[in-house]
Structure 1
Amino acid sequence: MPARLHTLWRVTKEQERARAKRRYERQQANLVRQEAERKRNAQVAAVVVALLAVIGGFILLAGKLGKDDKSAGASSSSTSAAPASLAAGCTAPPAVPNTEGKLSAPSADEVSAVTGKTVVAQLETNCGTIELTLDGAKAPKTVASFVQLAQVGYWKDAPCHRLTVQGIFVLQCGDPTGGGSGNPGYGYGIENPPADGTYPRGTVAMARTDDPNSNGGQYFIVYKDSDLPTDGGGYSIFGTVTAGMDIVDKIAAGGVGTDGVAPALPISTLSVTTETKG
């Protein structure tokens, strides 16, 4: 090969290699740029997802606070939004106060004040007045506790949170939390339980847990003769319904609501007053 041609060929090959190198470098640069863009997009996406999660959390929190505020506001009002159905003669029940008691059991003097005496209690409900006659001779501690809770307004706006319609027929009331676990802050033992476990219609007795000393603020009204277990000591009978049993009957006739526990036709205690007789 002539020297000049050899030189030209060498130059051409070097130029081609240079061009190939430049192409390769451009390709690599493009790959690097694309990878950087991919990473940047991934980072942006991650940031967006994180922001959405934070925003969603704020929205959820705001929603919860809004519900709490609404509930708190409603509890100070006389009524809440009307439920789907009400028993005849009933008004919409107030919002559940959802309060826990922080009281002490009645003193010996307070128990003595009702011992051997009759106490008449007026339960003002959103469905009318239910009158109870309480027996201070047979259940003085229970009656003294009932009088105390009435005087401090413990049951204001408290719903009757439980209705039983099979085997045992009772309407259970007296829990300001509305959930069935509230108490006034104290408990006491069983008084005047029927030995045979028979609770006639119109009986007013205390509800409790398995602990025989857990009588507190929850009570039940028997709307149909019932037999309750005597294991553990039975339940304290402390009074009878002497007026307004028709109100209990129409609530019971409505059956149980969708939760399977509370009455379908709501009833709440607006206030309770008591008068001790000689």
Structure 2
Amino acid sequence: MATNQQRREAAKRKLDRQQARRMDRSKRRKKVAAITAAVVVVVVVAAVITLSVLSSGSKNPPPANSAAPTSSSAAPPPPSAVNIPTQVAPPLKRPTAFPATVNCAYPADGQPAKPATPPPGANVSAQGTVPATVATSAGQIGLTLDRALAPCTVNSFVSLARQGYFDNTSCHRLTTSPGLQVLQCGDPTGTGSGGPGYKFNDETYPQLSYGRGYLAMANAGPNTNGSQFFMIYGDASALTPDYTVFGYIDPGGLQVLDKVARAGDDGSMDPSPGGGKPNMKVTITKVS
């Protein structure tokens, strides 16, 4: 028969075995939980990687700063939101008319961008008009050159046209902002700095204003006219009366200019002098 001491020791051994089993079960549960959590993490990571790989092959739009692919058969740029007024400006008349003939001076001015000879300057007519056609890659632009407005300017323009000075040259600058909507041409270098190797005086007057349909000379300051000219297709209210107007653009020519303007410019000349090269390239093939 077991003594009390023996019974106490047996009970203690039983309790120790029970505690050991509980500790073993607890360790196994923790180990299983840890393994399960690890498996879940692996599955989630694998799923994320799989989705990433799949989505990288989809045709998502490129980021805004990525380069667009180029192609010779690429579609033209979308139309610009430029607001072009449709009202054509009325014909101009000088407040004081020139005499029937004037004398013009065409002094030398740097190296010509393309070989050119200044026109004769004596007894230049200040009466009547000269029709002209500017054939371009964007379409044909008809002009009426007005000797009564600017005889020396018309004399120079006609001379350069007859010499082929404008042939195969590009219109290098387009502006579309309100107050200055023009296409500038007449520089064989396409940079805005080229001229015919001579210059001549302005034929402006203080009351001069500008509007849709006018043809005017570009310059680098007072009395520095050369070969560069601009065609006003829209608003030009920002211009001060410092640019010689010497003719007008016909309705068909304005439609060509509107088309070029709506294609926009590349902004390469912003903020000064403004605008940039036309997105729709304009090459003058012949002025006749």
Separation (CA, whole Å) in 2 of partners of 1:83 and 1:197: 44
| Equivalent residues of 1:228, 1:234 under 8 A apart | no
SS class of match (2:194) = coil
User: Structure 2 regions of 5+ residues with no counterpart?
Assistant: 1-70, 79-111, 270-275
Q: Is the 2:138–2:260 contact (alpha carbons within 8 Å) kept by the matching residues of 1?
A: no
Is the contact made by 2:171 and 2:187 (CA closer than 8 Å) also made in structure 1?
Answer: yes
Instruction: Provide the residue aligned with 1:268 in structure 2.
Output: 283
1:241 counterpart = 2:249: yes
Distance, in Å, in 2 between the alignment partners of 1:118 and 1:84 is 42
Evaluate the alpha carbon distance shift between residue 234 and residue 258 of structure 1 in structure 2; reply closer, same or farther with a 3 A threshold: closer
Correspondence for 1:184 among 150, 175, 196 = 196
- Where 1:250 maps in the other structure, the secondary structure is helix
- Residue in 2 that maps onto 1:108: 121
User: 2:261 aligned with 1:252, yes or no?
Assistant: yes
Which moves more between the two structures, 201-210 or 114-123? 114-123
Q: Distance in 2 between matches of 1:198 and 1:259?
A: 28
Give TM-score, length-normalised by structure 2: 0.57
Which entry has the higher C-alpha Rg, 1 or 2? Answer: 2
1:120 aligns with 2:131: yes
CA positional deviation for 1:102: 4.0
SS in 1 for 2:280: coil
Q: CA deviation at 1:103?
A: 3.0
Report how far residue 83 of structure 1 moved. 8.3
Deviations 1:111-162 (A, max 9, x none): 62x4212000100111221000010112000000010000000011111100
Q: Say whether the 8 Å CA contact 1:257–1:265 is kept in structure 2.
A: no
C-alpha distance in 2 between matches for 1:127 and 1:87: 14
Instruction: Please identify runs of 4+ aligned residues in structure 1 that moved more than 4 A.
Output: 81-88
Q: Secondary structure at the match of 1:181?
A: coil
Is 1:160 equivalent to 2:160 in the alignment? no
Q: 2:157 aligns with which of 128, 146, 153?
A: 146
Structure 1 CA distance for aligned equivalents of residues 198 and 73 of structure 2: 33
Residue in structure 2 matched with residue 206 of structure 1 by the alignment: 217
- How far 1:105 moved relative to its partner? 2.8
Judge conservation of contact 2:115–2:196 (CA < 8 Å) in 1: yes
> Contact 2:149 / 2:203 at 8 angstroms: preserved in 1?
yes
Structure 1 residues 251, 83: closer, same or farther in 2, change over 3 A? farther
Shift of 1:197: 5.3
- By how many angstroms is 1:268 displaced? 1.1
Deviations 1:64-93 (A, max 9, x none): xxxxxxxxxxxxxxxxx95855589xxxxx
Q: Does 1:132 align with 2:140?
A: no
Instruction: State the Cα distance separating 1:101 from its structure 2 match.
Output: 3.1
* Greater alpha carbon shift after TM alignment, 242-251 vs 176-185: 242-251
Structure 2 CA distance for aligned equivalents of residues 154 and 120 of structure 1: 18
Equivalent residues of 2:145, 2:246 under 8 A apart: yes
| Pair 1:175-2:187 in alignment | yes
Quick one: structure 1 residues 136 and 84, their matched pair in 2 at CA, closer, same or farther if it must change by over 3 Å?
farther
Q: Helix, strand or coil: the match of 1:145? A: helix
SS at match of 1:129: strand
Q: Could you tell me the percent identity over the aligned residues? A: 40
Residue aligning to 1:220: 230
Query: What is the CA–CA distance in structure 1 between the aligned matches of 2:173 and 2:141, rounded to whole Å?
Result: 17
**Larger relative helix fraction:** 1
Change (3 A) 1:190 1:86: farther
Contact 1:168 1:226 in 2 (8 A): yes
Q: How many residues align?
A: 177
Give CA deviations for 1:148-185 in whole Å, capped at 9, x if unaligned: 00000001111110011223111101111000100011
